[in-house]
């Protein structure tokens, strides 16, 4: 009985448990899952809305940026058009000024030629060359024109500081390992076609061919030191302390005359003679030469110099006629024969008596330009040969050039000259150090210079008296030549012939001499005025070119700024696009994550549903078991 009751009690409990399980399986899923899904969906919707707003904002900013770029481009084009119009107007004005300057320069050239012809006619009468002097002029010294120099004239009155200070406004100083401090004129920086010994003219003097420079630095750079043509640097001047009428090598032939500056290595010797072999010894090539037609040798040469591209042909058709030598311890700059060039020139072209100012122009830079007085040519030539020159340096050095190379012919320079040049530089440095050790700071340079200047003054007085005596002797000799005098002298003397008796002839000669002196003074003054006007015009042209270059630099700077601004805007645009792409990638990742969560939730729900289904099936199996048992027992 108890066993039966226990069986039915257990069966009831099993049915009750199965009913509870069925109700639990058929119950809806918990509310937490639905709330999570709803929250995720709402969050995804908010994120999509935010990204849509961000895209709209970026689109608006891009459109605004495009509008700003268009406005900036239009403004830039308008500004460039205005700048182009301004530059065109300035170019037109500059062209008009250049045409005006060219016309005035042509007029001045004509007037200068006329004045030069008048000066030549007046000076030729004073020159009265003999046959021997006519044959020697240009090649050798005219010994009868100059007395022996006094020993006092060789003493220094200044040093290299005069070079460094006087040339500073006209160019730049650079330091080099081979040549020390070198000078490059500003005119070469502004005009790379510039060459040494081209802005001026040649004059034949009693000491050979003398260069009369029109440039403010000409008194130094064409009578002292040497010129070097450096690769990638151009022409530079190397200082030296020995004066000469010019330091060039000459060529002549084919109706042309050419000259080239001697290189710095020729500074290895003082008081040295140079002949035709100097061109081969130092490797002087066609690029160093300047050629002109022989008929223009008496003219200002800048506009008559042949282009450098014709130098090879002229070099091939000419021979070297250099004859630089010494006479009475003075350099004679011998070159082509004067009488041959005089026939080619075809107009009066006198031989001048060289007069050197050794010290008076030291205190007045305006007196350092060449001056013609009758048949006398005055040049500034101070003595600078002091032992301490190698220790001096310019006040301002523009830079240092460590990679200098001198342009030479294919054969190059003979090694012996290069070694001698280096040895001479070392000797100069050792002499400067020895002088410093000997004198220290006790030596007063200026007092020594003033004492030497006083010696110069006394020596000049003696030299002037001796020159006057030599001039009178030459004139007396010329008067006694009579019928044997050469044709050039006869032509020169025709200017002074007069009619009548001795008294009338003397009076006529005095009047002619007075007229000649007055004409010479007027010609000298007019020449100085022309030179001042030419310098003013050159300065105006230089200022105009500098102004144009400054405007060009401003334009290029504005163009660079514009390009930089465009590059910055392009970079900003790329950054915005990359930001948009990154935001799109983030949105895609969020979507993928949301889809993954939804798939995971669906999988879990499916697994839960399967598990509950299994539970229900087990419960059904357990609920059906009592009925089967009852049936089995009843049977």
Task: Write out the two tokens for 200.
Answer: 């001026």
Measure CA 186 to chain center.
8
The CA distance from 3 to 190, in Å, is: 131
pLDDT band at 126 (very low <50, low <70, confident <90, very high): very low
pLDDT score of 31: 52
Predicted confidence (pLDDT) per residue in 558-601, tens digit = 777 888 888 888 888 888 888 888 888 888 888 888 888 888 88
* Lowest mean per-residue pLDDT among 144-158, 220-234, 383-397, 410-424: 144-158
The CA distance from 435 to 413, in Å, is: 33
Q: What is the full DSSP assignment across 595-609?
A: HHHHHHHHHHHHHHH
Phi-psi region of 399 (alpha: psi -120 to 50; beta: other; left: phi over 0): left
Q: Are strands 234-238 and 226-230 parallel, antiparallel or unpaired?
A: antiparallel
* Lowest mean per-residue pLDDT among 31-35, 129-133, 136-140, 349-353: 31-35
Residues 11, 16, 22, 25, Cα dihedral to 10° = -120
Q: For 441-450, b where at least 16 C-beta lie within 10 A, e where not — what string?
A: eeeeeeeebe
Task: Write out the two tokens for 548.
Answer: 């144009």
Q: Which residues contact 241 (CB under 8 A, 6 or more apart)?
A: 160, 224, 383, 384, 385, 386, 389
Q: Are strands 353-357 and 376-380 parallel, antiparallel or unpaired?
A: parallel
pLDDT of 192 over the 50 cut: yes
Q: What is the full DSSP assignment across 4-52?
A: HHHHHHHHHHHHHHHHHHHHHHHSPPPHHHHHHHHHHHHHHHHHHHHHH
The CA distance from 139 to 204, in Å, is: 10
CA 378 vs CA 118, 210, 370, 375: distances in Å: 18, 11, 6, 10
Phi-psi region of 138 (alpha: psi -120 to 50; beta: other; left: phi over 0): left
Q: Are 290 and 231 in contact (CB under 8 A)?
A: no
Q: 3-state secondary structure string, 523-545?
A: HHHHHHHHHHHHHHHHHHHHHHH
Task: Write out the two tokens for 592.
Answer: 């993928």
Query: Percentage of the chain surpassing pLDDT 90?
Result: 33
Q: Are 152 and 457 in contact (CB under 8 A)?
A: no
Handedness of CA 201, 205, 207, 209 (dihedral sign): positive
pLDDT band at 181 (very low <50, low <70, confident <90, very high): very high
For the chain, the average pLDDT equals 80
Maximum CA pair distance of the chain?
Answer: 199
Task: Choose among 218, 229, 337, 224: nearest CA to 282.
Answer: 229
Task: Choose among 411, 195, 220: nearest CA to 305.
Answer: 195
Q: Helix, strand or coil for residue 487?
A: helix
pLDDT band at 283 (very low <50, low <70, confident <90, very high): very high
Instruction: Find the radius of gyration of the CA atoms of the chain.
Output: 50
Predicted confidence (pLDDT) per residue in 45-98, tens digit = 877 787 888 788 888 888 888 888 888 888 878 887 887 788 778 777 777 777
Task: Write out the two tokens for 459.
Answer: 């020596």
Q: Are strands 208-213 and 248-253 parallel, antiparallel or unpaired?
A: unpaired
The DSSP call for residue 274 is B
The C-alpha angle 104, 110, 115, rounded to 5 degrees, equals: 120
Predicted confidence (pLDDT) per residue in 7-48, tens digit = 555 555 555 545 544 444 444 444 556 777 777 777 778 777
pLDDT score of 483: 41
Q: What is the full DSSP assignment across 146-163?
A: SPPPPGGGGS-S--THHH
Q: Are 358 and 223 in contact (CB under 8 A)?
A: no
Alpha helices by DSSP H, 128-247: 131-136, 161-167, 186-190, 218-221
pLDDT score of 487: 45
């Amino acid at each position: 009985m108890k066993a039966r009751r226990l069986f039915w009690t257990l069966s009831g409990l099993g049915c009750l448990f199965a009913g509870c399980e069925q109700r639990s399986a058929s119950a809806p899923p918990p509310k937490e899952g639905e709330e999570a899904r709803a929250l995720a969906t709402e969050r995804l919707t908010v994120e999509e809305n935010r990204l849509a707003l961000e895209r709209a904002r970026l689109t608006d900013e891009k459109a605004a940026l495009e509008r700003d770029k268009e406005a900036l481009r239009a403004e830039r084009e308008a500004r460039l058009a205005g700048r182009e119009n301004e530059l065109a107007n300035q170019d037109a004005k500059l062209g008009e000024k250049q045409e005006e300057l060219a016309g005035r320069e042509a007029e001045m050239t004509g007037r200068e030629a006329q004045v030069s012809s008048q000066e030549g006619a007046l000076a030729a009468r004073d020159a009265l060359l003999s046959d021997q002097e006519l044959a020697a002029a240009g090649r050798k010294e005219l010994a009868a024109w100059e007395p022996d120099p006094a020993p006092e004239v060789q003493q220094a009155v200044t040093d290299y500081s005069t070079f460094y200070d006087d040339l500073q406004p006209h160019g730049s100083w650079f330091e080099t390992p081979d040549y020390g401090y070198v000078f490059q004129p500003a005119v070469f920086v502004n005009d790379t076609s510039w060459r040494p010994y081209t802005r001026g003219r040649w004059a034949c003097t009693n000491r050979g061919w003398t260069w009369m420079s029109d440039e403010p630095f000409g008194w130094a750079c064409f009578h002292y030191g040497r010129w070097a043509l450096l690769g990638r640097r151009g022409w530079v001047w190397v200082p030296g302390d020995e004066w000469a009428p010019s330091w060039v090598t000459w060529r002549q032939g084919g109706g042309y005359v050419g000259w080239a500056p001697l290189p710095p290595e020729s500074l290895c010797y003082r008081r040295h003679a140079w002949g035709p072999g100097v061109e081969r010894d130092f490797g002087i090539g066609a690029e160093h030469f300047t050629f002109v037609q022989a008929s223009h040798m008496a003219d200002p040469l800048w506009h008559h110099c042949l282009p450098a591209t014709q130098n090879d042909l002229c070099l091939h058709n000419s021979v070297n006629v250099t004859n630089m030598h010494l006479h009475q311890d003075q350099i004679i700059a011998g070159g082509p024969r004067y009488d041959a060039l005089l026939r080619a020139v075809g107009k009066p072209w006198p031989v001048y008596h060289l007069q050197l100012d050794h010290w008076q122009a030291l205190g007045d830079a305006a007196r350092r330009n060449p001056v013609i007085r009758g048949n006398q040519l005055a040049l500034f030539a101070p003595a600078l040969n002091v032992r301490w020159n190698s220790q001096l340096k310019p006040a301002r050095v523009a830079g240092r050039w460590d990679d200098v190379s001198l342009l030479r012919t294919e054969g190059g320079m003979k090694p012996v000259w290069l070694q001698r040049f280096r040895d001479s530089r070392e000797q100069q440095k050792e002499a400067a150090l020895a002088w410093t050790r000997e004198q220290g700071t006790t030596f007063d340079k200026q007092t020594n210079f003033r004492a030497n200047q006083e010696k110069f003054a006394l020596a000049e007085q003696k030299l002037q008296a001796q020159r006057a005596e030599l001039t009178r002797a030459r004139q007396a000799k010329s008067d006694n030549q009579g019928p044997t005098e050469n044709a050039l002298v006869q032509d020169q003397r025709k200017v002074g012939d007069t009619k009548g008796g001795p008294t009338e002839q003397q009076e006529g000669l005095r009047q002619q001499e007075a007229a000649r002196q007055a004409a010479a003074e007027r010609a000298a003054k007019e020449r100085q005025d022309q030179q001042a006007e030419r310098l003013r015009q050159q300065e105006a042209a230089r200022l105009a070119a500098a102004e144009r270059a400054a405007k060009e630099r401003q334009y290029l700077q504005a163009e660079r700024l514009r390009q930089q601004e465009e590059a910055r805007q392009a970079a900003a645009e790329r950054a915005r696009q990359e930001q948009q792409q990154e935001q799109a990638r983030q949105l895609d990742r969020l979507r993928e994550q949301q889809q993954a969560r939804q798939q995971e939730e669906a999988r879990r729900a499916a697994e839960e549903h399967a598990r509950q289904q299994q539970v229900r099936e087990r419960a059904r199996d357990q609920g059906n078991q009592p009925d089967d048992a009852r049936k089995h027992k009843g049977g």
